[in-house]
Structure formats: structure tokens, C-alpha cells
Amino acid sequence: MSLALATDDRRSRRRRHALAAAGLTTSLLVLGLALSAPTDQAEVVAPPDVVGLIQVPGGVAAVSQRHGPALVADGRAAGFTHDELGAALAASNLAPRVSSAAGPGVYEATLVEQAWGDPASMLARLRGELPASDSAAAGPATAARSMHYRIIAGDPRGDYVVVSLLADTEQARNAGGLARVDLTLRWDDGDWRLRVPTPRPSLHLDTTGYVLLGALP
């Protein structure tokens, strides 16, 4: 083969390679534009769940649109999610409703339908306590301004869990801390139930290791 023919052949091969490379680059560019082009459907981002404290029969409790209570009727609350936050919310809602301040219409029904353990002993204890007036139950000395929680035992996605609640009340602050109560719950028939009798509150120094559950506005 002559030098001229060999040169022409090399030039022809270079042109074919250049065209092939250009075609590949164009294809990759088109693919990249297709992948990066905005779609008509915007990404749906769920709003953050807001947990707040409200006055309930017997005291103050935390509520959430996603985690419960899903049902509130006749002074009672039910329908909590089977997870950590649902358990904490259930503890904060059921505990005040099995107190004398909630009144017999609420605490008797709650003990029958939403409690386990020894409801009879708890009922006897409540009936032996002096009834608290609504103003005393919701007064500034015992009303929680904020509430914290911590899971101290069990599995909130299992059958049993122990939730420790801290309530920031004026009475507890004057004593140098927060009011603490540890509550045991059992998942039964699609909802949390509270073990009774519940322990008396104790004084806890600070919120170290706890998570904010909710606060009054």
C-alpha cells in the first residue's frame, strides 16, 4: 500500500472515530437533560408533627394529629400509635384521667376500659381521696407548663413499655426539680392500656436524657 493510500485510510478512520464520539457525547447530553429536567409533579413533603399540651380531665396532657389521641369523647381519650411517641402520648393522657381530679365519670370508665393490673385497688384509692375541684386540678401550682419523656424499659413497638414522664410544674420547681412518674403500658387490642395502680410522683432534678414532649403556648 502506498503512503498516500495509507494516509487517506488513517484519516478516514479518524473521521469515523470522531463522528462516533460526537454521537456518543450527544446521546449522553440528551440523557442528562432528560434526567435533570423538572417533572410536573412536585415532591410531596409531609409537614412536621406538632405536639402540644392541653387541659384535660385531671390535669394536662400532650396531643398530636398523627400519633393520637384519635378519639376524644366524654372526657376520655383513645387511639394512639404503636410507637415511641404514641406510647408517650398515651401515658400523658391516661394518667391524669385515672386521678381523683378527673372525676368518677372519667376515671371509672378509664379504669374499666383502658387499664390493666389491679383496677379495683386503684378505684378504692381514688374513692378514698378527697375530690379535687376543677380550679385546683388546673391551678398554676400543679399544672404542667411543659412535659418531657424517656423510654426506660420495654419496646414501644412491642407489647410492653415503661415511659418516664417529667412535668414542669410550679409546685415541683419550688421544691427544686420536676415531677416524675414512671408509667407502664401494654399494647392490647390496637391501643395502649395503662397499668394501675400508678405510682405517686417523685421529684427529679433535671431533664437530662429526656425528650421534650410538649409545652403550653
Task: Flag whether 24 is in a domain.
Answer: no
**147 contacts 158 by C-beta, under 8 angstroms:** no
Task: Flag whether 23 is in a domain.
Answer: no
Task: Flag whether 188 is in a domain.
Answer: yes
SS3 label, residue 120: helix
Task: Flag whether 204 is in a domain.
Answer: yes
* pLDDT of the residue at 169: 95
The tally of domains found in the chain comes to 1
Task: Flag whether 15 is in a domain.
Answer: no
**pLDDT, tens only, 61-81:** 999 999 999 999 999 999 999
Residue 18: all three cell numbers together: 470522531
pLDDT of residue 87 exceeding 80, the answer is yes
Q: Where residue 161 falls among pLDDT bands split at 50, 70, 90?
A: very high
Structural domain for 210, as ranges? 51-215
* pLDDT of the residue at 15: 53
CA distance from start to end of the chain: 93
pLDDT of residue 204 exceeding 50, the answer is yes
Task: Flag whether 125 is in a domain.
Answer: yes
**81 contacts 49 by C-beta, under 8 angstroms:** no
Task: Flag whether 32 is in a domain.
Answer: no
Task: Flag whether 17 is in a domain.
Answer: no
**pLDDT, tens only, 99-155:** 999 999 999 999 999 999 999 999 999 999 876 554 444 456 788 999 999 999 999
SS3 label, residue 142: coil
**pLDDT, tens only, 5-52:** 343 554 555 555 544 444 444 443 333 434 444 444 445 444 568 899
* pLDDT of the residue at 47: 54
